[in-house]
Structure 1
Amino acid sequence: MSGFHEGELAVQRRAGVSGDAARLSAMVAPARLSAGVAGFLAERTFAAITARDGDGVLWLSPLTGPPGFLHVDSPAALTARTSPAVGDPLRGLPADQPVGLIAVEFALRRRLRVNGTLSDVGDDGLRVEVEQAFGNCPQYIQGRLLHAPTAADPGTAPVRRGERLAPDDVDLIRRADTFLVGTSHPTRGNDASHRGGAPGFVRVEGGGLWWPDYSGNNMFTTLGNIHADPSAALLFCDFTTGRTLHLSGRAEVEWTGPGALGDDDHTGRRVHFTPRHVAAGRLLPLRAGSVSPSPYNPPLTTQ
């Protein structure tokens, strides 16, 4: 299906950007994976996928591998020659479901979103029949050069499951300058997107968390999905230690009006998230040393 769905259109109208968004409607038209897209994906080592586990819970999980693990099979299909790690909430995820995938090159500040249907889960990896594919601007991507650990990895620690944030989880969130967010739409399927800002841009309060919505391309795929379906999943990664925090729960968009406390980019929008399922472990087999903050990061208005 082409064009924006009703949730995206509603948020665009509320934000007063319907005209600007309409000029981008071709980006959400049925996709054909070009040679340029295939080349970009073939060089990536990090991606993430939004999907549901066997119980129907929405999660967002990292997918990693050497260059070439993301392979374009045809103009409308790709294979991720990997699977979520042992202990990951999406380990053994079922096929025949909508998925959203995002591939990020942090060092070059480039990202590509691919949405479609997970048609096969097998020994060769995950095959996705692609319905949408579009790039996003470099805004708010913190510069990192990902690499395999140089020291011997002591092994994967047990994954902690629960329903509430633990103190270590809160600490990771408050230090984060990057996270990924997965959302869903009843008929358009799932999506995976990137969020970034100065450390502390995600606030933790009362067992939940929230973040200000920064200026973007005015398509509002994430906020539009939340408008239609509050199901959401978050993924936080500590690129120094490999720690990961998966959260699944409910999200809600709040319109505060520009200038409210915490409205760092003066958009008058923020997203509140209430976790219902938590999985914390050390499931990221990639590391990064120094960080180059994005020049687009707005200063924090509160801590």
Structure 2
Amino acid sequence: MADYHHGELTVQHRAGLRDPASGSLRAIRDAVPDAAAEFLARQPMIVLGAADAAGRLWSTLLTGEPGFLGVPDPRTLTIGALPAADDPLGPVLRERGTQVGMIAVEPATRRRIRLNGTATPEADGVRVALDQVIGNCPKYLQRREYVLLPPDRGGRRTAIRRGEALSTVQQLTLATSDSFFIATASPDGDADASHRGGNPGFLQVLSPTRLRWPDYAGNAMFLTLGNLELHPRAGLLVPDWETGALLQLSGGAHTVWDDAGAAAVPGAQRLVEFRIEAVQETQDAVRLRWSEPDFSRFNPPVAPG
């Protein structure tokens, strides 16, 4: 059985959990159950988080025809894709021994599963030796249906923009988004990837280099916030569900333990702030296109302004 590290236990206790190690640890496995293997085989995408060569955390999106994710044995995940060479994680995923956190989501059913381990490149993708397999609840995931465009119609990476702050258009993209993914890691480098969702406006843009979002009630394991407690770095991924563009952000993040501030945000138990240090936006990055969202009934309302 897995165990929580010091940062996760610290956050659990600060959040008021009386006995954090009982019960929730059973959701963390070291092998993929048969039902999860079948789920993964149906998916056309997986989000992957890791650190680049400079130690900055990033998240990226890998896509393919259903079946590109495989489970040859319960402790191994194969991914039949690699990030493009110009992706922030392209170089490190072509090296052996990269610690990765992953999350596969199925918006049509609001199911998801997280998988963490160590990646080794293969001829056409990545093989990951798994050490954590984590089931997640369906809250805050918007229902969508997908279309996977043929290679000659999508995923051509038509333009890449890099910077250290958000443009005006990028700020608008974030302020109207309903979903993003976040990669974090422990001080030992154990990576994790997670989903955050809500009604448009739940992700606040405070300035071209500062974001804030509410931490809603979840599975009470606090894996993301536990990592931030010890290693306040993160990588955000905001996919454009309509165009296949990806907005990737890397920087510092921390939990704001301010009861008054959280009380002003509907549904928030606490807040998280993110300081942007690097931005990469890639147009037509992936072949996936998604329908308009059916918003989760669990999404709290967003306060005006």
TM-score for the superposition, normalised by structure 1: 0.94
Give yes or no for the alignment of 1:121 onto 2:121: yes
What is the CA deviation profile of residues 115-138 of structure 1, one whole-angstrom value per residue up to 9, with x for unaligned ones?
1111x1131311110000011000
Give yes or no for the alignment of 1:233 onto 2:235: yes
SS in structure 2 of the partner of residue 272 of structure 1? strand
Equivalents in 2 of 1:287, 1:21: separation in Å?
Answer: 40
Number of the residue aligned with 1:246: 248
Preserved contact between residue 4 and residue 28 of structure 1 (Cα < 8 Å): no
Number of the residue aligned with 1:298: 300
Look up the equivalent residue of 1:197 and give its one-letter code: G
Preserved contact between residue 237 and residue 248 of structure 2 (Cα < 8 Å): yes
Q: Percent identity?
A: 40
Number of the residue aligned with 1:280: 281
Mean Cα deviation higher: 56-65 or 148-157: 148-157
Equivalents in 1 of 2:43, 2:262: separation in Å?
Answer: 39
Look up the equivalent residue of 1:19 and give its one-letter code: D
Number of the residue aligned with 1:179: 180
Matches within 5 A, 1:119-198: 120-149=120-149, 152-153=153-154, 155-187=156-188, 189-198=190-199
Equivalents in 1 of 2:35, 2:155: separation in Å?
Answer: 38
Number of the residue aligned with 2:49: 50
Deviation at 1:90, TM superposition (A): 1.3
Deviation at 1:302, TM superposition (A): 3.9
Cα distance change of structure 1 residues 35 and 149 upon mapping to structure 2, 3 Å threshold: same
Instruction: Give RMSD over aligned pairs.
Output: 1.9
Equivalents in 1 of 2:232, 2:45: separation in Å?
Answer: 27
Number of the residue aligned with 1:71: 70
Equivalents in 2 of 1:142, 1:258: separation in Å?
Answer: 28
SS in structure 2 of the partner of residue 301 of structure 1? coil
Equivalents in 1 of 2:217, 2:100: separation in Å?
Answer: 25
Mean Cα deviation higher: 105-114 or 146-155: 146-155
Equivalents in 2 of 1:188, 1:18: separation in Å?
Answer: 28
Preserved contact between residue 82 and residue 124 of structure 2 (Cα < 8 Å): no
Listed as ranges, the gaps of 5+ residues in structure 2 are: none
Look up the equivalent residue of 2:71 and give its one-letter code: V
Cα distance change of structure 1 residues 260 and 217 upon mapping to structure 2, 3 Å threshold: closer
Preserved contact between residue 9 and residue 18 of structure 1 (Cα < 8 Å): no
Number of the residue aligned with 1:257: 259
Deviation at 1:68, TM superposition (A): 0.7
Equivalents in 2 of 1:84, 1:154: separation in Å?
Answer: 11
Deviation at 1:52, TM superposition (A): 2.0
Listed as ranges, the gaps of 5+ residues in structure 1 are: none
Preserved contact between residue 104 and residue 110 of structure 1 (Cα < 8 Å): yes
Matches within 5 A, 1:191-206: 191-206=192-207
SS in structure 2 of the partner of residue 25 of structure 1? helix
SS in structure 2 of the partner of residue 247 of structure 1? strand
Deviation at 1:54, TM superposition (A): 3.0
What is the CA deviation profile of residues 139-169 of structure 1, one whole-angstrom value per residue up to 9, with x for unaligned ones?
0000011112489449422211111111121
Preserved contact between residue 8 and residue 223 of structure 2 (Cα < 8 Å): yes
Count residues with an aligned counterpart: 300
Number of the residue aligned with 1:16: 16
Cα distance change of structure 1 residues 285 and 9 upon mapping to structure 2, 3 Å threshold: same
What is the CA deviation profile of residues 85-112 of structure 1, one whole-angstrom value per residue up to 9, with x for unaligned ones?
3532111323212110110101100000
TM-score for the superposition, normalised by structure 2: 0.93
Number of the residue aligned with 2:215: 213
